[in-house]
Amino acid sequence: MEEQHKRRVRYKGTHPRKFEEKYKELNPEKYADTVAKVISKGSTPAGMHISIMVKEILDILKIQPGEQGVDATLGYGGHTRKMLDELKGRGHIYGLDVDPIEIVKTTERLRKAGYGEDIFTPVSENFANVAKIAEKYGCFDFCLADLGVSSMQIDNPERGFSYKLDGPLDLRLNPQAGISAADRLLELSQEEIEGMLVENSDEPYASEIAAEIVKKIRKDKRISTTTELRETIEKALEFLPDNREKKDILKKTCQRVFQALRIDVNSEFEVLESFLNSLPDIMNPGGRIAILTFHSGEDRLVKKAFKAYKQLGLFSDIATDVIRPGAEECRNNGRARSTKLRWAVKA
């Protein structure tokens, strides 16, 4: 039976605004010119992810043909593809991702680019369990972990990661496991919500926001959407004077609250600690490690672990200073601005 042609979603006006309407950006291979224009303006095309600090990572990892490595956070596969290029057709990379939606798309993208099963293996696994992968396939010569949420997840309103887009308040990296952010808020007391906001994002208005969230849940039984949470945050900050600074404060507060909730829902600090605990055992002698972090809590954990392993003699060298993306990269990709890169070498 011949497959029927499916018409694309139509939109009002001259430019698509909704995620599902951006048919050109969602098919980057087909509409390269449109994607290039979006990137040239310093934006990330819908459904895509621009890899951060690629040159710096490759300089750190010093990948040689024949080596075995792991991309602990596969995502869109941009970093993976550059690392695969360094192997020159010899060696292997294992790409881990807990997101069942994106790992399929990325694997298909890499296969089409010519990276077959002989050189690349996708693994549907949380990087907290990287030791299981090393146990099965052997230790690694290089390892990358990019702890940022992929732009594909942020831009898709169905995933509930962004306060800018209306969608279900979900925030799970794996929507097939665990509970949504909306359900998680029902489990927490006002004191626990406040503590979460402080611990996960250093939120200065944690007390006011926690109180307003609990008030909203008592009234409506639930905060079900991203818009409802954003409006609750705005209501909590009504006491701020109406001036030019308020808009920026609201934006940054929303970013921090959504970040804190995402970290809690996905147990991100616990996952990172498990990954860091595994590093000395999964790397071959001389193995190189690069980790990209995006907020102070993550960076503190990485810095502390690397320093401890160096003192124990398990790592021969570590980054003494954090590496930041250059000004040009930050101009071209706004999502790179908060990035910090640290590296280590196994003794």
Low-confidence ranges of the chain (pLDDT < 50): 1-3, 23, 39, 42, 44
Q: Which two tokens stand for residue 100?
A: 């069942």
Span 124-181, pLDDT tens digits: 999 999 999 999 999 999 999 998 776 666 667 777 778 888 899 999 988 888 899 9
Contact 69, 346 (CB under 8 A): no
Annotate 323-337 with DSSP letters as a single string. B---HHHHHH-GGGT
Distances in whole angstroms, Cα of residue 280 to Cα of each of 61, 276, 286, 306: 16, 8, 11, 10
How far apart CA 8 and CA 225 sit, in angstroms, is 26
Q: What is the CA radius of gyration of the chain?
A: 21
- Looking at residue 6, its pLDDT comes to 56
Buried/exposed code over 213-243 (b: 16+ C-beta within 10 A; e: otherwise): bbebbeeeeebbbbbbbbebbbebbeeeeee
How far apart CA 139 and CA 245 sit, in angstroms, is 51
Span 37-73, pLDDT tens digits: 654 554 545 555 578 999 999 999 999 999 999 999 9
- Looking at residue 137, its pLDDT comes to 97
- Looking at residue 331, its pLDDT comes to 83
The model's pTM: 0.81
